[in-house]
Amino acid sequence: MTLIIDCHGHYTTAPEAHNLWREAQKAAFKSGEAAPPYPEISDDEIRETIEANQLRLIRERGADMTIFSPRASAMAPHVGDQKLAVPWARACNDLIARVAGLYPECFASVCMLPQSPEADMTSAIAELRRCVEGLGFIGCNLNPDPGGGRFTHPPLTDAFWFPFYEVMCELDVPAMIHVSGSCNPAMHATGGYYIAADTIAFMQLLEGDLFSRFPKLRFIIPHGGGAVPYHWGRYRGLADMLKKPDLQSHLMYNVFFDTCVYHQPGIDLLADVIETKNILFGSEMVGAVRGIDPQTGHYFDDTKRYVDALDITSEQRHAIYEGNARRVFPRLDAQLKGRGL
């Protein structure tokens, strides 16, 4: 039996009171006042938003569980500073913890981080520890561009990030490299910025030597790895030109791609070019692309259909659906074993 583990889902349908509090928090920050207290949100409100959306789709599409994190586009680290970012990250992560508490068989928690354009990683480390050590989270979403679409931060291979990586390794949790909303009108968030950031992150890793310093560090580059699998020859060639080891030994013990590519030819290419051990099933539902593909009659983000249709062995399919996720998220593996799975 294979568990179908979706490694990429966000709480895009959070209760309205949560979103309204965020607006009030930002308004108070702007006018120099204290933020209002966080609203009471009942378990029933959370159940309603989950059962009508993510849980319904998990069941309809035949998956078993989703690795679940706060809404990515609302992380918005470029808005305000740490005084705004820390309470916002805590509120979002606490809500994820409540979802996983209500549906422990169906959701495993991943946290967002209170990053800000001018801040170091101190409060991100504290929040990661709070979530993993205190609330049972299994990973985090790390934003390589807290400036929100301007890429003014140092590359992921820079010492700026090292204190955070040390704690990731200590806690044995991976990070999904995930940007948020774009404040750059030249970059559409989910169509331009996300895919560009995925590609940029991979190239940063290629140029550096991060994993010889942190051999246990693991990154998931979402959205199918951005443009990387399609341009695999370019990156292999650049590694050669830059006198780096071949990509397999340089990066691919530590870097993984999800299957959030919303058509069959794209998934076929991913599975053809990238080794099975580096691919994790993901759909990012309910997320960026919510419509039905008129060519197939199925939802674009029903990525399980494409993986099911791949011409691969059952061992490979098991790795993409379950085995790789358990390897990349050891804390998920431990939780599942604790439930006899």
Catalytic positions: 284
Residue with tokens 């040390």: 166
Number of residues that bind Zn ion (CB under 5 A): 2
Counting contacts by CB under 5 A, is residue 72 touching Zn ion? yes
In the complex with Zn ion, which residue's Cβ is closer, 75 or 85? Answer: 75
Stretch that binds Zn ion, among 110-118, 202-210, 281-289, 325-333 (CB under 5 A): 281-289
Tell me the window of 26-34, 51-59, 122-130, 276-284 that interacts with Zn ion (CB under 5 A).
276-284
d(CA 269, CA 274): 8
- CB 281, min distance to Zn ion, A: 14
Q: With contacts defined by CB under 5 A, name the span among 70-78, 97-105, 122-130, 323-331 that binds Zn ion.
A: 70-78
Six-digit token pair at 190?
């989910």
Tell me which long-range contacts 192-198 makes (C-beta under 8 A, separation of at least 24): 193/149, 194/222, 194/223, 194/226, 194/288, 195/223, 195/226, 195/227, 196/226, 197/144, 197/145, 197/226, 198/222, 198/223, 198/224, 198/225, 198/226, 198/227, 198/228
Question: Which residues sit opposite 224 in a β-bridge?
Answer: none
For residues 45 and 190, which CB has a smaller minimum distance to Zn ion in the complex? 190
Q: How far is the CB of 3 from Zn ion (least distance, A)?
A: 21
- Specify the residue, 75 or 251, whose C-beta has the smaller distance to Zn ion: 75
Query: From the CB of 258, what's the least distance to Zn ion, in Å?
Result: 9
CB of 187 to Zn ion, least distance (A): 16
Quick count: other Cβ atoms within 10 Å of Cβ 187? 19
Q: Which residue, 78 or 244, is less far from Zn ion as judged by CB?
A: 78
Q: Tell me the residue nearest to Zn ion as measured from the CB.
A: 72
CB of 135 to Zn ion, least distance (A): 20
Pick the piece of the chain touching Zn ion (CB under 5 A) from 16-24, 68-76, 110-118, 308-316.
Answer: 68-76
Q: Which residue, chain included where needed, has tokens 């659906």?
A: 321
Residue at 279: amino acid letter: I
Residue 201: its H or E element: helix 194-207
CA–CA separation, 79 and 138 (whole Å): 26
Interface residues with Zn ion (CB under 5 A)? 72, 284
